Amino acid sequence: MRKLALGDEILLRIEKPERYIGSEWNAVVKRPDADMIRIAMCFPDVYEIGMSHLGIQILYDMFNRYEDVWCERVYSPWKDLDQIMRERKIPLFALESQDPVKNFDFLGITIQYEMCYANILQILELAGIPLRAEERSEEDPIVIGGGPCVCNPEPIAAFFDMFYIGEGEVVYDDLLKLYRKHRAARGRWKTSRRAFLLEAAQLPGIYVPQFYACTYHEDGTLADFHPTDPAVPATVSRQLVMDFDAAPYPEKPVVPYLKATQDRVTLEIQRGCIRGCRFCQAGMIYRPLREKHLERLKGLAERMLAGTGYEEISLTSLSSSDYNDLNDLLVYLISICKEKGINISLPSLRIDAFSLDVMSKVQDVKKSSLTFAPEAGTQRMRDVINKGLTEEDILGGAAEAFTGGWNKVKLYFMLGLPGETEEDIRGIAHLCEKIAECYYDTVPKEKRHGKVAITASSSFFVPKPFTPFQWAPMNREEEFLDKAHTVLSEVRAQLNQKSIRYTWHEADVSVLEGVLARGDRRLADAIEYAYRHGALYDAWSEFFSAETWQEAFKACGLDPYFYTARERSTDELLPWDFLDMGVTKAFLIREWNRAKEGRVTPNCRQSCSGCGCRPYGGGVCLEEKTGVCLEKNAGICPEEKSSVCLSGEKAESMRGRETASPLETGGAG
């Protein structure tokens, strides 16, 4: 019987001790030996958040299919346990074995949100691993980062030995083979840590920061970014899973003891998006769209429900209503779920007649609220961001929803978008008013389920890397708040003000997110300073301290607004330009210019926009069997052959990886 890392006396003192004891249903326990590769897979946030992350579930399942690999989980200790572990010098441990993380071969950290950067340092320090990669010894685990934030890994590059750029396990099989080649047993190398990292840096999608260097101009902009060893590539390319049906997927995910944020079976129906919203990083970097086939999804749904006992299943993707077989899938799920009392959740649907009909089949409209995201209050602004929604679409969808029985609506908007005017800002309140009026104009009094209730909220625009808006300036805190108060005052002036509730995100958090998303290597000092002076759980509003971060930037001689408040030239070398994320810079510049002109770009099913992702050999613009570009055959492909045609070297290298073993494909990094 295994011994818990925390004694009863500690477990009785802390909040929710179930977070730390492991042994959950479907957890994988193996008997390790000296030759087994030990991987601690970490989500740098509290257990309930980390247990909801699909990417870790996929990787956990994939790694544990290897006989000689044991992947375990670790999450950030909550503040009460954090203090106890420091006082008593208890090392951070993995849940399954309760062994110290420092004794593992790899510490993999998924980086979903910039506001978790301080928690990454908490994980390293509690584990007894030096914060800086350059200070680690031959005995320390290899610290590897993955996830959407590695679209710009530079602010945290000093803390990682390597980054995996892309999705799941396209390259991990090669990385593990390489590790076996270089090490003798845990803690002993046949060669050396550096030799392993140098050879790993030559694998597709693996970025090892220590083999790259940069210089800066006098004005602070990046002057040069280059490899320091001729063996490593100047450009690191994102790895994508193209055979989506063959990719591993957890049929028996670990079931948490506590109610997690996503307390349900999660069925990923597709990856990528055809819509092309210019502010959306995920919509760009997960191109091209890849769908799972209907029969594969049916089998997964049955086995996951049987293997977990969950009472809800959620279909997940960036835009679920774009899945071709959605109706057939739902008919099947209803047939197996209805008699068992299992709920079906459908996030990320567009508000149209088809989606509303689908939702009415699986939701109790009297209890549920309808959620959709116009993002902007005026048509001009929606065209700028390429939302692909007209006011007619929005009001028509609202009318359909109200006729169908809904009377509670949640609306998501964004403030601070490029080119925004006061009319666009006030337009948020006006659109809310029009939707409220639509309810009373559409639904006869005798058929209403009470008054209409509209909850509108605004997040603040952060120009993320690898989007057409990556060159755009970002508002300062006071500008964001002024705009939010303008919307609020306009809402209060509306006839239906009692039906409309308006809230907004924290402005100072958004600005810091922008700094960390758009920064360079110089930010590492500020991140460590903030952590040393109390920054932790910054994603939690009750713990976030803007003053701590302001002090950190000042102490390190950095101006945070240098990274956010200025518009960047398309000629400027950006900290993330050494990465190839699939979409070309030429495409992003073209979309940036179209945004300034207020021109809409059709979605991928309407027309190919030549984004540069065709060399991956898939997506909706390619014939499934032949891989021939339909738009190119039709003579309307907007790109030159040399940049996107399948005959290029990149296309050959990507297609070559499709013949690898199933374990070389997998879920989100």
With contact defined as beta carbons under 8 Å apart, do 238 and 165 qualify? yes
List pLDDT tens digits, range 564-622.
Answer: 999 999 999 999 999 999 999 999 999 999 999 999 999 988 888 889 888 887 766 55
Would you list the DSSP string of 479-530? HHHHHHHHHHHHHHTSTTGGGEEEEE--HHHHHHHHHHHH--TTHHHHHHHH
Percent pLDDT > 70 in the chain is 91
Quote the pLDDT of residue 638: 47
Measured from the Cβ of residue 262, the count of other Cβ atoms closer than 10 Å reads: 18
Q: State mean pLDDT over 651-662.
A: 31
Q: Which domain holds residue 80?
A: 8-165+171-237
With contact defined as beta carbons under 8 Å apart, do 644 and 615 qualify? yes
- Report residue 1's pLDDT band, with 50, 70 and 90 as the boundaries: low
Quote the pLDDT of residue 662: 27
Domain-embedded: residue 53: yes
Type of residue numbered 354 = F
- Total domains present in the chain: 1
Quote the pLDDT of residue 363: 67
Domain-embedded: residue 158: yes
Higher pLDDT, 628 or 188: 188
- Give me the count of residues in the chain: 669
Measured from the Cβ of residue 195, the count of other Cβ atoms closer than 10 Å reads: 13
Return the biggest CA–CA distance within the chain: 79
Domain-embedded: residue 40: yes
List pLDDT tens digits, range 224-269.
Answer: 999 999 999 999 999 999 999 999 999 999 999 998 888 899 999 9
CATH number of the domain to which 101 belongs: 3.40.50.280
Say whether pLDDT at 643 is over 60: no
Backbone angles phi, psi at 385, to 5 degrees: -90, 0
- Report residue 124's pLDDT band, with 50, 70 and 90 as the boundaries: very high
Quote the pLDDT of residue 366: 56
pLDDT, mean over the chain? 90
Say whether pLDDT at 396 is over 60: yes
Domain-embedded: residue 461: no
Domain-embedded: residue 516: no
Say whether pLDDT at 649 is over 90: no
Question: Which residue's structure tokens are 């693996």?
Answer: 206
Higher pLDDT, 636 or 120: 120
Specify the pTM: 0.92
Would you list the DSSP string of 280-344? -HHHHHTPSPEE--HHHHHHHHHHHHHHH--SEEEEESS-GGG-TTHHHHHHHHHHHHTTTT-EE
Q: Which residues on neighbouring strands pair with residue 412, listed in sequence order?
A: 457
Q: What is the dihedral of CA 371, 375, 380, 381, to 10 degrees?
A: 180
Dihedral class, residue 600 (left if φ above 0, else alpha if ψ from -120 to 50, else beta): beta
List pLDDT tens digits, range 171-230.
Answer: 999 999 999 999 987 768 999 999 999 999 999 999 999 999 999 999 999 999 999 999
Q: How far apart are CA 617 and CA 598, in angstroms?
A: 31
The token duo for 666 is 């997998």
Domain-embedded: residue 455: no
Domain-embedded: residue 423: no
Type of residue numbered 486 = T
Distances (CA, A) of 564 to 95, 281, 519: 39, 17, 9
Say whether pLDDT at 648 is over 50: no
Domain-embedded: residue 23: yes
Say whether pLDDT at 276 is over 50: yes
